[in-house]
Homo-oligomer: A and B are copies of this chain.
Amino acid sequence: MQTKFLNENIYVKSYASVGSFLEKKSRYGSYLDLIIEDPIANRKTWEEAESAFQKTAFTLALKKASLNNENIDCIFAGDLINQCMASSYAFKEIGIPFCGVYGACSTMALTIISAANLIASKMAENAAAVTSSHFCSAERQYRFPLEYGGQRTPSSQWTATASGCTLLTKNETDIFLSAYNIGKIVDLGVKDSANMGAAMAPAAADTIMSFLHDSNTAPSDYDAIFTGDLGEIGSNLLYGLLNKENIDIKANHHDCGLLLYNKEIMDVHSGASGCGCSAAILNGYIFKEMQRGTFKNILFCATGALLSETSSKQSETIPAIAHLINFRRK
């Protein structure tokens, strides 16, 4: 069975989210723990800045949990920058065992699942899951130099400048992971790297269907179903794919890519994207509203497009993946 039900619950000890000036102006900006107004964050390069965002999110989560570095058994981290550079450089001086993870924009879910496994196998008491993205480091790596001012197609999404960190623990707290689903790679042949929502929707559909089937539940059993960063186009495609299987999630579905920015006042085209997008929404809006009791049982399905600049240039299709976690509140 693709869905894994945790024998012993793994708990969310603490969480933190960091964004920049654009994320602050967003609908859910007030849920972020910290705003670093200037996206360069007093560093020399965009990559160093992204590392700073990630380290800040980790430090904040640690502080909120009243824990020290010595209490964290392992950090699981990843990002979009070649060789996961933002993560490696963020934690190079921290002295905590480190596992690099690559799941493109699905990384927030993948790092949490990895950390949960380490705790579930009794190898750790506390483990951290961290990820980030940065508009400026992503644009120059995947698309054009910022100075070029290239026009963006209507289907494109805006990479969030944000980071999120979730600290997991074996010790009981209010919010816990009760199940997860590690996705399969799905590739329906989309080649347009400016339409990643379309590439990722089939992966989201595959993972959500697998989870609902394995858990014998319906979308209405959950207070909310969050997808990672499908954006407007991807979300609509997801509805279509699920409708074919007589599954309707529209009533309680939210896409982090549509939650992060405020489309009415911000021209982000199809929505937000980047590892930092779902990371900021999960560790800002979702967990805070779970703690308040607004949500008691949710699905978090982060999506990732596993393309690279090289694969795009080689006219390859875009494989995608989606990893899902069922978070519950006591």
A92 adjacent to B185 (CB under 8 Å):
yes
Query: Closest approach, in angstroms, between the C-beta of A69 and any C-beta of chain B?
Result: 11
- Given contacts A102-B84, A319-B88, whether A97 and B310 have CB atoms under 8 Å apart is no
Binary interface encoding of chain A residues 87-118 relative to chain B, with 1 for a CB under 8 A from any of its CBs, else 0: 01101111111111111100000100110111
B91 adjacent to A185 (CB under 8 Å):
yes
A316 adjacent to B97 (CB under 8 Å):
no
Query: Closest approach, in angstroms, between the C-beta of A36 and any C-beta of chain B?
Result: 20
Contacts of A185 in B (CB 8 A): 88, 91-94, 98
Number of copies: 2
Closest to A321 in B: B98
- Interface residues in A231-261 by Cβ distance below 8 A to B read none
B100 adjacent to A101 (CB under 8 Å):
yes
Contacts of A291 in B (CB 8 A): none
Is A30 in the interface zone, CB < 8 Å from B? no
User: CA A109 – CA B47 in complex, angstroms?
Assistant: 27
B93 adjacent to A182 (CB under 8 Å):
no
A99 adjacent to B89 (CB under 8 Å):
no
Contact of A110 among B99, B123, B182 (CB under 8 A): B99
Is A216 in the interface zone, CB < 8 Å from B? no
User: CA A309 – CA B85 in complex, angstroms?
Assistant: 10
Contact of A311 among B47, B116, B308 (CB under 8 A): B47
Contact of A316 among B89, B102, B308 (CB under 8 A): B89
Is A220 in the interface zone, CB < 8 Å from B? no
Contacts of A330 in B (CB 8 A): none
Is A194 in the interface zone, CB < 8 Å from B? no
Is A71 in the interface zone, CB < 8 Å from B? no
Closest to A307 in B: B83
Contacts of A309 in B (CB 8 A): 82
Number of A residues, CB within 8 Å of B? 59
B123 adjacent to A4 (CB under 8 Å):
yes
Is A187 in the interface zone, CB < 8 Å from B? yes
B103 adjacent to A100 (CB under 8 Å):
yes
Binary interface encoding of chain A residues 205-238 relative to chain B, with 1 for a CB under 8 A from any of its CBs, else 0: 0000000000000000000000000000000000
User: CA A9 – CA B122 in complex, angstroms?
Assistant: 13
B308 adjacent to A81 (CB under 8 Å):
yes
Is A129 in the interface zone, CB < 8 Å from B? no
User: CA A232 – CA B311 in complex, angstroms?
Assistant: 35
Query: Closest approach, in angstroms, between the C-beta of A273 and any C-beta of chain B?
Result: 14
26 contacts between A and B (CB under 8 A): A44-B314, A47-B310, A48-B314, A78-B102, A82-B83, A83-B306, A85-B306, A85-B307, A85-B308, A88-B306, A89-B316, A89-B319, A92-B185, A92-B187, A95-B184, A96-B184, A98-B182, A98-B321, A99-B101, A99-B103, A99-B110, A100-B102, A100-B110, A100-B306, A102-B102, A114-B114
12 more contacts with CB within 8 A, not counting A88-B306, A116-B121, are A48-B314, A82-B310, A83-B104, A84-B102, A84-B306, A85-B307, A85-B310, A93-B185, A100-B104, A100-B306, A117-B121, A118-B121
